[in-house]
Structure 1
């Protein structure tokens, strides 16, 4: 407990605050500093620097809040850097136009999840953070590891490190994420997915025949593109006369020009086309993408998995809470078959047809060999 005097704008006040530490020497040091802050003898930058150097995490968090309150009482204004929560919002807004739309959605999701995970610490002054707060980042990483795959965790950690690097450059803090590594990815985790065999493709198409999914599946098979990009296709992207499909990918903002394979072109030619070139080719699928939070394709992925289940290729998945208490937040077991498998299938078909590796990579949109 620290007792100190604050010479507020309304007059001198005696404050008594808990510092959340049993270390008397540390408590005395903080209390003496608070006394100086209360007299208006300490500059804002020095307050943030002192706070960041407090070794005990609980004491550091408590002191940061008390110091900010005392500074506000003495000067009538808040400390300029603002909270971590506010910094995350401003950082995200700043990078919005610098990265692809789909990447921004992922950055935003990770930023929100990190802020939610650290709770009250998100309302600390950004300048009070230091490398000693690496426990917050480690905790976030470890709780994610219980829910999602290692690759997903590592992408999130990369985003958190970038966020704190930006804070470090702006406010000269020692990033809490700088020394926190990612998870080791086992080779088995990355090799699990595969393409579809020809018999499997026949079973899938039989299940989807007559539905909008038939066209989406043919587009996935003959273009190797991502589900979100296929669902967002408009008729202005389709040139049946020249036999071409032209669009820009959401994830990488890459311009694609893909020749239409005959089965896909024939199917598209049978679909109803209005007078509006901006009309959606697959309106139902596009509607699900638009309604899903953060424009992700979770709903469509689940629909495709249901088709795979009806075809007998995967186990049917329930969306109800399991008896063991694990719900949607629990880590999913990865499947070797998903819509992404069409990328592997398309790559294999092109290679088997004698198409050069460089051309295959350009058509599918891969940046490394598949």
Structure 2
């Protein structure tokens, strides 16, 4: 057994000691802990000089803790200084606020859709406002499951649906998973918080008759948007931000980068190609053709989908001008909002339903809708144009185009 190197004095003022443990490369340290008990711990250090520094610093911090003179900030600074002296590394002292904000910046830089980043930011903003300032500026490793659980409950009490609360919990858990992978936390405290298992509301498809009614109320740009949604299944923001360079009238295709799936397709072919229906081609030929970088929908390009002046509400105005009865989901309470089961995204559901109704195979429907994983996307990428043409041609025209 090894012998300790060091001298012991009074019980409250002691010098830590170290020894080499048999059959172990690491030096052990012996010191009085914060409770006044003599304990032995490994320094996880093979260098004797560095091991002694760790032992003496540990004993000094414990002595201050026994005297009630230590704070979290002082502990972090002490161990940060010690880490730098012994290894040359610096201790990452990221605060809760700093790490959550940095995560959002990284997500925006790594190809996540603008709408996804906005949804994450909304959760982060609400969570940071919920935390007291003293907690926002505390170390990320100090965040506890009880704080996250209280935030979830506060969200529910404010009138948000269970599914919205579950999404907020998913966002926080994703951020803390990142912190854990980087070694900034010992665990992910969000994993200890139960989800509410809220029911996710789903859109309904528009019928052909309903689409005809929408077209009668729409102006020229929204007519094009509705046609791209109904016949090509293009999402709202993707359609609004199409450029003339995305259109190939000769090949009768539109190619673009889907905002929602761009991140998942980075390692595969990131570009989505959709064969254009004859009704879309007829609308395009009626437009003054712009130069490559010119927006296809100049009055709608660059607008967000949410908020009072957003694209979603603009589409709802068109829908409300018709006699279409819009079914709703769970009634909103507090700051929540009532879910409308018909919206622009319903046009995408309609396209998929139309393909199914004319017996287009599930494989082709999946490839055209962009619902596939990277693996399936790579497997069916050769179907993109050759299999789409006969599929699109099977969908009948909507005659009443303004």
Tell me the TM-score normalized by structure 2: 0.64
- Contact in 2 for aligned 1:228/1:297 (Cα 8 Å): no
Task: Name the structure 2 match of 1:345.
Answer: 350
- Contact in 2 for aligned 1:83/1:122 (Cα 8 Å): yes
Separation (CA, whole Å) in 2 of partners of 1:79 and 1:337: 51
Do residues 161 (structure 1) and 173 (structure 2) align?
A: yes
Structure 1 range deviating more: 108-117 or 249-258: 108-117
- Contact in 2 for aligned 1:347/1:364 (Cα 8 Å): yes
2:234 is paired with a residue whose SS is coil
Task: Name the structure 2 match of 1:334.
Answer: 339
Do residues 176 (structure 1) and 192 (structure 2) align?
A: no
- Contact in 2 for aligned 1:309/1:316 (Cα 8 Å): no
Separation (CA, whole Å) in 2 of partners of 1:365 and 1:149: 28
Separation (CA, whole Å) in 2 of partners of 1:153 and 1:74: 37
Do residues 232 (structure 1) and 241 (structure 2) align?
A: yes
Task: Name the structure 2 match of 1:60.
Answer: none
Task: Name the structure 2 match of 1:261.
Answer: 277
Alignment of 1:82-93 (within 5 A): 82-93=94-105
Separation (CA, whole Å) in 2 of partners of 1:94 and 1:217: 34
Q: 1:100 to 1:309 in 2, by over 3 A?
A: same
Separation (CA, whole Å) in 2 of partners of 1:153 and 1:259: 39
Task: Name the structure 2 match of 1:25.
Answer: none
Separation (CA, whole Å) in 1 of partners of 2:320 and 2:81: 64
Note the alpha carbon deviations across 1:277-326, whole angstroms, 9 max, x for none.
Answer: 0110011111323xx78xx8971101111111111225799xxxxxx995
Q: 1:229 to 1:74 in 2, by over 3 A?
A: closer
Q: 1:262 to 1:136 in 2, by over 3 A?
A: same
2:154 is paired with a residue whose SS is helix
Q: How far is the alpha carbon of 1:158 from its aligned partner?
A: 1.9
Alignment of 1:167-316 (within 5 A): 167-169=179-181, 170-186=183-199, 189-190=200-201, 192-208=202-218, 210-253=219-262, 254-274=270-290, 276-289=291-304, 299-314=310-325
Structure 1 range deviating more: 95-104 or 341-350: 95-104
- Contact in 2 for aligned 1:305/1:314 (Cα 8 Å): no
Separation (CA, whole Å) in 2 of partners of 1:205 and 1:88: 44
- Contact in 1 for aligned 2:233/2:347 (Cα 8 Å): yes
Which structure 2 residue ranges, 5 or more long, are not aligned?
1-32, 37-55, 83-89, 263-269, 374-402
Task: Name the structure 2 match of 1:357.
Answer: 362
Separation (CA, whole Å) in 1 of partners of 2:349 and 2:150: 35
Q: How far is the alpha carbon of 1:252 from its aligned partner?
A: 0.7
- Contact in 2 for aligned 1:246/1:256 (Cα 8 Å): yes
Note the alpha carbon deviations across 1:110-129, whole angstroms, 9 max, x for none.
Answer: 33332222232111122333
Q: 1:72 to 1:340 in 2, by over 3 A?
A: same
Alignment of 1:2-13 (within 5 A): none
Separation (CA, whole Å) in 1 of partners of 2:319 and 2:309: 15
Separation (CA, whole Å) in 2 of partners of 1:325 and 1:359: 41
Alignment of 1:71-150 (within 5 A): 80-102=92-114, 103-120=116-133, 121-129=135-143, 133-145=144-156, 146-150=158-162
What is the aligned residue count? 297
The structure with the greater share of residues assigned to helix is 1
- Contact in 2 for aligned 1:144/1:153 (Cα 8 Å): yes
- Contact in 2 for aligned 1:141/1:157 (Cα 8 Å): yes
Q: How far is the alpha carbon of 1:194 from its aligned partner?
A: 1.1
Q: How far is the alpha carbon of 1:181 from its aligned partner?
A: 2.7
Separation (CA, whole Å) in 2 of partners of 1:312 and 1:72: 66
